[in-house]
Amino acid sequence: MVTAVMNDKIKKGLKEFFEEVKNPELLETYLHYLGLKEKIAPVLFPQEKRIYQSIDQLMEHLEKEGKLWRETEIKVQFGRQNVNAETKKIYICPFTGKAFGDNTCLNPQDAIYDWVSKCPENTERVGGMRVKRFYVSEDPKVIAEYIQERSTPIIKKVFSSAVTGKLFHSKEDVIRDFKANHTRQMTFLEVQNQNRFEIEESFLAFCQEALSQERVAEFVEMMAAEKEFEPFISDWFEE
């Protein structure tokens, strides 16, 4: 159950809110209060077109469903690769470990397609045709493995993003990329004012309970008991 609670931390957060937002409406203030109290920081996951209560809730959901990262192995071919210190993106043959860099080939994607279609170690076929499967990575740590010239091939454990399929050196790198490039922070007010995206079930249930007239009335009553907030209460009643 959502109950109105005031403490020094919440009071400080509300004071900062009132300093930043001039003449805030009741709903806007109440939603900010809920964010402070319940540690709500809504985040949109565009791929699912769904809003979660926080990035932690989203990450927990994706990890539980196995939709965040996958552990895999790559081969690093012997000899010198078409990769150097200026390379930002590489295309890797999963069968031999041969790599093509974005700055060392005129059309690296065409090059990797052509390579895997003729690769002697590619025995995977669909409809009689060799599959054109390959890896892609923009992680500097993964790219660095292909810059060094080797006398024998090696096998490396890496992690692939379940969202993009790109390879990363570690699970932490997958998570860092996911947070930075595949989610969008939202305000609680934005969540309530939109109808384009679905709200995750438990977050929706919380919103429905928290935004009942009874809970909003409890909040107003609690705020009215705080002398420094009296001017805002008066404005709300006038509205």
Residue 159 within any structural domain of the chain: yes
Number of H helices, E strands in the chain: 10, 12
* Judgement on whether residues 199 and 161 belong to the same structural domain of the protein: no
In a domain, 177, yes or no: yes
Residues 165 and 211 in one domain: no
- Residue 101 pLDDT exceeds 70: yes
The predicted model scores a pTM of 0.79
Q: Within a domain: residue 49?
A: no
Averaged over 173-202, what is the pLDDT? 94
Instruction: Look at residue 53 and tell me if it is in a domain.
Output: no
Asked if the structure places residue 206 within a domain, the reply is yes
For the chain, what is the mean pLDDT?
Answer: 89
Q: Which one of 142, 160, 181 terminates a domain? A: 181
DSSP for 187-206, please give it.
-HHHHHT--SSEEPHHHHHH
Residue whose C-alpha is closest to residue 121's, from 100, 92, 95, 93 = 95
Say yes or no: 167 and 94 in one domain. Answer: yes
Give the total number of structural domains in the chain. 2
Please state, in angstroms and rounded to a whole number, the distance separating the CA atoms of residues 49 and 28. 24
Q: Would you say residue 21 has pLDDT above 90?
A: no
Give the structural domain span for 219. 8-42+186-238
Quick check: 90 pLDDT over 90? yes
pLDDT digits (tens, 9 = 90+) for 31-83: 999 999 988 999 999 999 999 999 999 999 999 999 999 999 998 887 667 89
